Amino acid sequence: MHRHRAWAQGSGAGGLGFEGGRESRGRPRRASEDHPRVIPTLATQEGDRPRKKKRAPARPTRWSAVAPASTSNLGPGFDCLGLALRLPMRVSAARIPSGFSIRRLGEGSDLAIDPQHDKVLGAFRHLFRIAREPVPTVALTIRSEIPLARGLGSSAAAIVAGLTLANHWLGGPYARDEIFREAIRLEGHPDNVAPAIFGGLTLSMPRLDGSVEALHLRVPRDLALTLVIPALHVSTEKARALLPSSLPLPFAAGNTARAMALTHALSTRRFELLAEALRDVYHVPYRARLIPGFDRVVEAGCRAGAYGVTISGSGPTLLAFHAPRLGARIGRAMVRAFARHRVKARAAPGRIATKGAVARTHL
């Protein structure tokens, strides 16, 4: 970078002096008789220009974060398998003098939720308290493409977006594993928050010390997904209340085998195993009671070419695994099957989000 200095101004040190318009010769000219004498400086010699004041760095005016939707369980992987989907929840925050406000756009915009009970704001404030820092008063704008109460991880996305936003605002003191720990604490289970944080397909493995580690699993490129979303709402609490408190040991052992077979089928591309590997005894038979025509819809999807169909999360969305370019046909068949049971539904591609939550600053 070039540095600039001021030019030194003044008369030359030698040459003729003038007094009263006449030449003055024969004696040295005193400084008082003309302009003050200027001693050449380095600035004079280099010919630098006046320095400009540096502008203060621009202060952030807005912070934002985005977190993906997710489908969890994938049949027998109850509370441990999760897959991130390209249905984003975007959250932006601007500082305001006092209080908190929330503006909702997209999915959930018709809900009237007390800001004190909002999951995004709750997670945002939680991380500041963990960091022992004052909680800033903010106006939040939440724009979501994730259908609510449909088994697509809207709650997990809200928590992860709030934590990610707060961590970025604080300067990023927490690693993703630490954000994962706090997300589990707020959500209660890891299967949706793990893919929302890390992206892709994750296996949440509990450790002996009570911590949970998220393991990344590969999804074959030649495996496609279709979501069939009925016009029903099922709360996670209601869906969990249906689950049995215990199961016979042979049933549990069979479920463990199918969960392992599912990961094997995905890693080796043995898609013919998916029909059996997706079967579950922990939650699907009980949650299926909340979905009219469940068995018929699953059957319609398989007849149309799906390798297998299961419930996404706690439902009522159904998740079909199939070969590429079959999604439209499978989706139409399942939507028609729902219609025969007087349930409106829509089909959408289940595009995988390979990256998890991110945040940025806006100047």
152 among annotated binding-site residues = yes
Going by C-alpha positions, the residue among 342, 340, 318 that lies closest to residue 331 is 318
Residue 39 included in any domain: no
Say yes or no: 235 and 90 in one domain. no
Please tell me which residue, 138 or 112, carries the higher pLDDT value: 138
Whether 121 and 247 map to the same domain: the answer is no
Same domain for 309 and 209, yes or no, is: no
pLDDT of res. 283: 96
pLDDT tier for residue 53 given thresholds of 50, 70 and 90: low
156 is in an annotated binding site: yes
For residues 127-147, give the mean pLDDT.
Answer: 95
265 and 203 in a common domain: no
Q: Is pLDDT at 193 greater than 70 in this prediction? A: yes
As a residue count, the chain comes to 363
Q: Binding site annotation covers 246?
A: no
Q: How distant is the alpha carbon of residue 324 from its chain centre? A: 27
Q: Are residues 332 and 240 in the same domain?
A: yes
CB-CB neighbours of 342 under 10 Å: 8
pLDDT for 191: 96
Structural domain includes residue 18: no
> Token pair for residue 243?
């689950």
In a domain, 57, yes or no: no
Q: Is 148 annotated as a binding residue?
A: yes
Residue 17 domain-assigned? Answer: no
Q: What CATH code is carried by the domain that includes residue 156?
A: 3.30.230.10
**243 appears as a binding residue in the annotation:** no
Does 150 belong to an annotated binding site? Answer: yes
Q: What is the arithmetic mean of pLDDT over 26-48?
A: 45
Q: Which domain range does residue 334 map to?
A: 224-349
Q: Is 338 left (phi over 0), alpha (psi -120 to 50) or beta?
A: alpha
The verdict on 66 and 210 lying in the same domain is yes
Query: Could you tell me the CATH number of the domain that includes residue 330?
Result: 3.30.70.890
**For the chain, how many structural domains are there in total?**
2
How high is the pLDDT of residue 49? 57
Residue 157 assigned to a binding site = yes
- Separation in Å, CA 182 to CA 32, 191, 206: 78, 14, 15
**42 annotated to a ligand binding site:** no
Residue 356 marked as a ligand binder: no
In a domain, 36, yes or no: no
* Whether residues 213 and 228 fall in one domain: no
- C-alpha dihedral sign at 41, 44, 47, 49: positive
pTM, two decimals, is 0.82
Banded pLDDT at 50 (limits 50, 70, 90): low
Give the CA diameter of the chain: 123
Confirm whether 38 is domain-assigned.
no
> Looking at the domain assignment, is residue 234 inside a domain?
yes
The answer to the question of residue 299 being in a domain is yes
